[in-house]
Amino acid sequence: MFRVMMRRTRYVAIILIVAAVVVFSLWRPPHKNTLTPPADFEANQAKQGRQYTFNSFGGSLNIGNAMDRCSEISIGHNTTITDEGAIAFDVASFLTRFESELEEWQLAMATTVSEQITKDQWSHWERFGGSAVYLNDDVLVMASRVIYSKTGDRRQPQLSLVLVEAMDKAGNSLEEVNGIKYPYLLPVPFTVENDQCAGPEDPRVVKADDKVFVVFNMWSDGQRRMYLMPLSPDSQPVELRLPAAGNDSNRAEKNWTPFYDANHPNTLQFVYRWEHFQVVRCSLGSGECTLVTGSEADLSRPISAMRGGTPLIPVNGGWLGFARAHLLDCGCGWETYRPNLVAIAANNDGGYCLSDVSGYVDFDVAMTSWEGEGNVCDMKAMRPNAMVPTGLDLDGDGHLRLWYSVNDQDVAYLTLDKSFIGQISPQCRSEESHLYCALGESYQRCTDYFFKYGVGEYSEYH
């Protein structure tokens, strides 16, 4: 009898140990709003005027598929980071100001807005992804994404909104511009259903025909679709519709890269795909899109590692911006996002071509794991959201401001010396080796990063 009891006790102990291991493996540290950079990045963050070098791939030389010749089309760039910072998000002020509007989506929340205000339940909210343009020399308008998660896990939000703000060059908030009161929530109609994220996501702001528009994606009727709407408190969204060959009901549309071509008024252009380069031109009024670059047969291709990032701005006869590489399994890192500088040009057929692409650039920004203080090999995401000249254009001695987010939890910026832009002359090329060279260098830099900081976490790459 004693042996039976001991055996049962042993089995119970084993079960408890296994259960504890499972629970521990699923546990994640609580969400934190502060970033804790690796030690050697802290010194860089504190240094004003620090230098940063990177490579892009372009030029007229055709290297075909010879990836061992990437150095022959590589161009070295140097820039100075003159300023950096972030815009704080006061959750209490946000909830108080928009309490009545937020109550419309109460179904997506675990508690009422008033209860969140009285009990200081701030960890359920996050603001990130600020995209901006200048309305004029003195006023910057920004659209950023605000999410709510019942559990506080920003990877699984139930509610997504777009907050529109106006500010002066110094970053001071403006309450009214041209008769429009700021801030306000973009008036996008949507329905909260179950626990699926509802509302507009990933806003991008762009000027076209001297008007400001916001582009975003959103789940609607079981599909993720792209939308466009004028940036004003009384506007309505217009769905962007691809040609028939691209209307796959099972496809989730997102990451389109907008840019404006003054030669085609009343329209907005989008880089739909960077690999097997495709551009669509969409009506600002109807949302109907036509394919102006690439093959319609490629519209149904899976999206490659190079994804949309910032809107593109006119530079040197072409357009310039930052895409982002989605890198999987480089070093010990299982998922990584980093910006890549890209340039495109107009061709002679009324379409466009990919001109220059850089390897990944992080400007030595402090990076932590998605969970904050976690495994260095966990997901790390630096997403570029807007590239804005400090004036209306890039003439003179102005600078360039890159707006970005780290791990979907801030609206941060870097101010860059724009001298490197003079080295980029957008022109059409007949092959995509420069894109593959850029992705190859991105994977190598990613692997080097995780090898450096992942020592002790994993003994080898996987």
Render pLDDT for 220-246 as a digit per residue (tens, 0 to 9).
888 899 999 998 888 999 999 998 755
Predicted confidence at residue 241, as pLDDT, reads 94
Measured between alpha carbons, how far is 233 from 210 in angstroms, rounded to an integer? 17
Range from 140-144, 225-229, 319-323, 348-352 carrying the lowest mean pLDDT = 348-352
Query: β-pairing, 333-346 with 380-389?
Result: parallel
* Tens of pLDDT, residues 149-161: 998 888 889 999 9
Dihedral sign from CA coordinates of 238, 242, 243, 248: negative
Exposed / middle / buried, residue 419 (Cβ in 10 Å: 0-12, 13-18, 19+): middle
The amino acid occupying position 237 is P
- State the average pLDDT for the chain: 83
Phi, psi (deg, nearest 5) at residue 334: -85, -25
Question: Do 207 and 133 touch, CB atoms closer than 8 A?
Answer: yes
pLDDT band per the 50, 70, 90 thresholds, residue 457: very low
